[in-house]
Copies of this chain bind each other. A is one copy, B any other.
Amino acid sequence: MDLSKLCIHTITTKPWNLETAIPKYAAVGIGGVSVWRDAAQGFSGGIESAGEFIRSEGLDIVSYVRGGFFTALEAAARQKAIDENKRIIDEAAALGAPLIVLVCGATPGQSLFESRKQIADALAALVPYAQSAGVRLGIEPLHPMYADSRSAVVTMAQTNAICEAVDHPYLGATVDVFHVWWDDQLEQQIAAAGKADRLFSYHICDWKNQPEDMLNDRGLMGEGVIDIERIGSWVEQSGFSGYEEVEIFSNRYWAMDQDEYLALIVDSYRKLKGHR
């Protein structure tokens, strides 16, 4: 089966460092990788050589994960976040990643409306820098269970609204089925993002029935309640033709043999695509 549009996030196989993970992905025919910051920074030769290594193994670098966390009570702290995100853009450029995924932040004690305004302001300030580096920025709305301190952006509608307010070709959306599957406006908002050429990337995994952990109990595709095939069809119909990126945080899967786990990932992707 063709795995050329399958991408894996390095954090999915967290026990493997980049030196180990990339040849493993390449050996089974996976087309792309999204590189987490710690994986790139941990590479022995530095970030630029990490990019060269990945390309020499025949893999596309799909995105650099992650920037964001723009909100804060004080203006000085918000400026510090913008500066930090410029460094992240520099790193993505050095790696050769065309996209940074953004977890936009939220500040306890501050309304989500105010936080979203701060996020839009920060992105307006940042996006010219991203363009000059040739790196696009994808806002990833997170599940509302992370609205306390991780992301005031919890829906695709809010993502699209921020993109419209900033209105720049280097700012768009990252859809992760785990975060948005519950939303009754999802189909329309994916279509709206696609129509505006703002759907930049697409993450898959599954929401298990009654997860044991709010962070690290994600499921493989097919293991949970999300109709990934349906959401995938909306994404495709919106005009998106990029990678399907497997991003799974799971204490259970991190604890198992990672070669066996990689085989499970490929198998669940195969089943999702109808090759049973």
Contact = CB atoms under 8 A, between A and B. Distances in A.
A211 interface: yes
Contacts of A214: 145, 210-211, 213-214
Contacts of A224: 108, 148
The majority secondary structure among interface residues of chain A is loop
Given A209-B149, A210-B149, A144 B108 contact: no
Contact of A144 (B143, B211, B213): B143
A209 B148 contact: yes
Contacts of A158: 184
A113 B188 CA distance: 14
A227 B108 CA distance: 10
Contacts of A148: 207-210, 224-225
Please tell me how many copies of the chain the complex holds. Answer: 2
A81 B93 CA distance: 57
A144 to B, nearest CB: 4
Contact of A154 (B113, B147, B182, B225): B182
Categorize the interface residue count of chain A.
20 to 34
B111 A227 contact: yes
Contacts of A274: none
B113 A182 contact: no
A108 B149 contact: no
Nearest to A107: B225
A112 B184 contact: yes
Interface string A236-260: 0000000000000000000000000
8 contacts: A109-B225, A111-B227, A112-B182, A147-B181, A148-B207, A148-B224, A158-B184, A213-B214
Interface of A: 108-109, 111-113, 143-145, 147-149, 154-155, 158, 181-184, 207-211, 213-214, 224-225, 227, 230
Q: Which 10 A-B pairs have the closest CB atoms?
A: A144-B182, A147-B182, A145-B145, A108-B225, A148-B225, A148-B209, A108-B209, A144-B144, A149-B209, A214-B214
